[in-house]
Chain A
Amino acid sequence: MPVSSAPEEHLRLQNIGVSFGNVNVIPSLDLSVRKGEMVAFLGPSGCGKTTTLRIIAGLNTPSRGHIVVGGRDITRLPIHDRDIGMVFQSYALFPHMNVSRNVQFGLQMRNVSGREAEERAGRALEMVQLSHLAHRKPKELSGGQQQRVALARALVIQPSILLLDEPLSNLDAKLRDEMRVQIRALQQESGITAVFVTHDQVEALSMCDRVVVMRNGHVEQFGTPTEVYERPATAFVANFVGRTNKLKGKIGSDGVLSAAGQQLHSATTVAPGAVEVLVRPHRIHLQGQAGDTREADNKVKGTVSGLTFVGDLVQYGVRVGDDEIVVEEATRRERRPVGVGDSVVLGWSAEDTLVYPGGGQ
């Protein structure tokens, strides 16, 4: 794939607002997607992911703002002129047409000749490995097969943008893993710009170039999976993407952070006041283990209150004052055994100590 120094913007949402009746579902949304990248919309149920997707497709009309694709304002363009492929959560295949006719539909609407349409549909079905089912009706297919037909149907028209609304949520875990890889491969192969809606963080982080974390109709953070995970912009993002421990703390007028009854070090600085301190479980380790030479900026004493062995890792619950901190460590053979009731010292680095303003009180 050619790597250009300045990635070209392909899709821009500009100050988009959406209301249903007098409910303002999306107050104001700005977003810019580059050509050929796959962006995930990640967020809890009801945060407006589907609505935003439907706005791009033209299925909903924004009450405000502009949609720009490839430099062209398409806000007022009718759905059928938008050249946008959409994979619906329910697949929405045409029940009265067989698989091949389903895939040919978009080509027929573009007045592609019968033979060419058949050939291109054939190739699209090959791509999703469904050539042998071309003459089946949708109701004679499994969920995963229907999903692939929907994908082929959207891809065969070579749309300028591919929209996928939770396409994997109806599949079982194994098929979901397979389809993730397949969708990503197809997207990269065709170099198509794609928006992928999901409320599954693993899906968002593993498949997409960048992730939009949404909440209540606005963007909390827009960044690469690593950025979103390692440097969450808000406590909400830290909570939503990956698991995390939450401590109440405060920053004094001298700028010193205190939480869990002692002073802590953090790489981030925020204004004095009440704060939330977030640390991911697997970034904390038990100090003093044999062969453990890890330095810790923050050291906190506590008592083990629970222990779960999960095979490749051990999960400890550690009571620190009023707080319960979850620690995850990879299992190692030469570990010193730690049991419930043991006193331990937890250690983690300043970089892993995420501090956000607020946190009540």
Chain B
Amino acid sequence: MSAAATLPRQWRNGELAVMLLLPIALINAIGFILPVLNLARYSFNKSRIGGGIENVFTWDNWAGLLSDPFYLELVFNSVWISLAITLTTLVVSYPIALYLHRSTGSWRTFLTVLVISPLLTSAVVRTYGWIAILVDDGPVVSAIKAVGLPAPSLMFNIKGVFIGLTEILMPYMILALMAGFGRLDPRVEEAARTLGATPSRTFLKVILPLTLPGIALGCLLCFVLAVSSFITPKLMGGGRVFLLATEIYDQAIVTLNWPLASTLSILVLIVFGAALWAYSAVLRRLD
């Protein structure tokens, strides 16, 4: 008699997987898939003045969007600015993440808490903080004036948005980078050094390639967050910086044109899809 026959009925692999996945699948279906499908439907509906939605099928929203240079420029600007912010965030976060990865003990704990702590305050609070710092008679501009340089305008334009978003995204970038630094083996770096690599060549030939997965992850995360953030661009742009997220907000809340807002949202989703595709393409090449 086989041992299996004496045991109670066992989970077969497939059943177990389904059982474990079911809760998250349900949550996702209700919390994400349904609303997105709803958005997709709205984007083919007609808007009525005053916020109403007329439940008829029309291509008008999409046709209007794709033929209006304002919106095309909006998409282009959003993607371009988000990419630039992501890259800046990467450049300023990388050394911090690497230093953090290499520090040990309580010093490391302290620094990690320091990096994460901005996440404990809302982006709204931090944005107002940046406004106070960067306004025309604020400390930064005053300091620049004091050393005799021409006073820059750092607030209520794209520069303010750039600075604010970069700082707000840094914790995410640092955490993503550190998660990807697991592949860094100090022995491997030492091996490179004994083989004649200078510190800078060790960085370029060994450290950087080994941390590319972390870089890709951090960039994906920050790009998505940058494209979808609207509070910081709204407040720090002073209504003069037009991005996809702020426009969706305006259309949905101010103009009450939900079909157009939905169409723009689906567009953002398509941009995210492209980003995700680029990310997995990079990962596949790295493997």
Contact = CB atoms under 8 A, between A and B. Distances in A.
A157 B191 contact: no
A80 interface: yes
B205 A88 contact: no
Interface string B31-71: 00000000000000000000000000000000000000000
Given A95-B210, A105-B205, A80 B197 contact: yes
Interface residues of B, number: 20
A110 B201 CA distance: 12
Contacts, number: 67
Contacts of B187: 88, 90, 92
A153 interface: yes
Given A95-B183, A96-B209, A157-B196, A109 B191 contact: no
A93 B194 contact: no
B112 to A, nearest CB: 23
Interface string A106-120: 100110000000000
A136 B86 CA distance: 34
A85 interface: yes
Nearest to A57: B194
B192 to A, nearest CB: 7
A345 interface: no
B206 interface: yes
A95 B211 CA distance: 12
Contact of A93 (B183, B188, B201, B286): B188
A85 B185 CA distance: 18
B195 interface: yes
Contacts of B201: 109
B188 A92 contact: yes
Nearest to B209: A96
Nearest to A108: B205
B198 interface: yes
B197 A82 contact: no
B194 A84 contact: yes
Interface string B164-203: 0000000000000000000101011011111111110100
A86 B188 contact: no
A79 interface: yes
A94 interface: yes
A59 interface: yes
B191 A94 contact: yes
A185 to B, nearest CB: 23
Contact of B195 (A58, A59, A96, A153): A153
B196 A86 contact: no
18 contacts: A57-B194, A84-B194, A86-B190, A86-B191, A86-B194, A88-B190, A88-B191, A90-B185, A90-B187, A92-B188, A93-B188, A94-B188, A94-B191, A96-B209, A106-B195, A109-B196, A110-B196, A157-B196
Q: Which 7 A/B pairs are nearest by Cβ-Cβ distance?
A: A109-B196, A106-B195, A92-B187, A92-B191, A79-B193, A86-B194, A92-B188
Interface of A: 57-59, 78-86, 88, 90, 92-96, 105-106, 109-110, 153-154, 157
